[in-house]
Amino acid sequence: MKFTVLSLFPEILQGFFESSIMAKAVERGSIEYELINIRDYAFDKHRTCDDAPYGGGAGMVMKAEPVALALESVKSAGKKTVFMSPSGNLFNQNMAAELSTEQEVVILCGRYEGVDQRIIDAYIDTEISIGDYVLSSGETAALVVIDAVYRLIDGVINSESLEEESFSKGLLEYPHYTRPETFQGMKVPDILLSGHHANIEKWRREKSLEKTRKNRPDLLSASATSEYEMEDQDGLD
């Protein structure tokens, strides 16, 4: 899979592609990436990429022409093309899974007040928001999306870890412990040391449900809980 990111500050993204699990995935060829500096497509004397909004108001707007040329340079037509925007569709694990099935995703990062609407109308398939807050730039938002998507690609990380984790079954993940057995007087739950796999699994299911009830009751839709509660009548409370 390939990520093509268009940005006024591509250096913000570079480090991510050169670090840790992503660097390995790139080295193995599971992930490809291309970072495009939109300013390279601004051809006036000052390489201007922003201008004042029509109709007045605060801030600047990313100009259409350089962004359009940058998108055309990566042949975005026919590829999944995303604009990061606080007024986009709220990003979640299902959207990450859908994006992970694409051969290439082109991501446009906004700055200032955003981009000229005609770019969105003519070139963008999906606007994605990573949450109900406003960031100063689309680069950090794009990194969130890229991180959530690339780890779902075959061979990037162990597929067993993917099955177990938060949201994969509509619930949050159970708590984890590692050595030492006692830390600041707090002991690892005995059941995790018991070696009894069925009981451990049951305990983890209960903890998963308990944590979801506490932190994200909104996730407890009928479908997600019934599966757990049916298997686990004597469950929690």
Q: Is 66 in the site for ligand SAH (CB under 6 A)?
A: no
Q: Which is nearer to ligand SAH, 90 or 191 (CB)?
A: 90
Quick one: which of 71, 109, 120, 149 contacts ligand SAH (CB under 6 A)? Answer: 109
For the chain, how big is the Rg over CA atoms in Å? 22
- Of residues 220, 214, 218, 216, the one with CA closest to residue 237: 214
**Smallest distance from the beta carbon of 87 to ligand SAH, in angstroms?**
5
Task: Answer for the pair 212, 227: CB distance below 8 angstroms, yes or no.
Answer: no
Please choose, from the candidates 93, 76, 80, the residue with its C-alpha nearest in 3D space to the C-alpha of residue 167.
Answer: 93
170, 217 contact by CB (below 8 A): no
- Residue list 110-129, contact with ligand SAH (CB under 6 A): 110-111, 113-114, 129
Residue 185 is given by DSSP the state T
**Contact track, ligand SAH, 125-154, x by CB under 6 A:** ----xxx-xxx-xx--x-------------
End-to-end alpha-carbon separation of the chain, Å?
A: 45
> Minimum Å distance from CB 32 to ligand SAH?
23
CB of 189 to ligand SAH, least distance (A): 37
Which spans of this chain sit near ligand SAH (rule: CB under 6 A)?
84-87, 109-111, 113-114, 129-131, 133-135, 137-138, 141
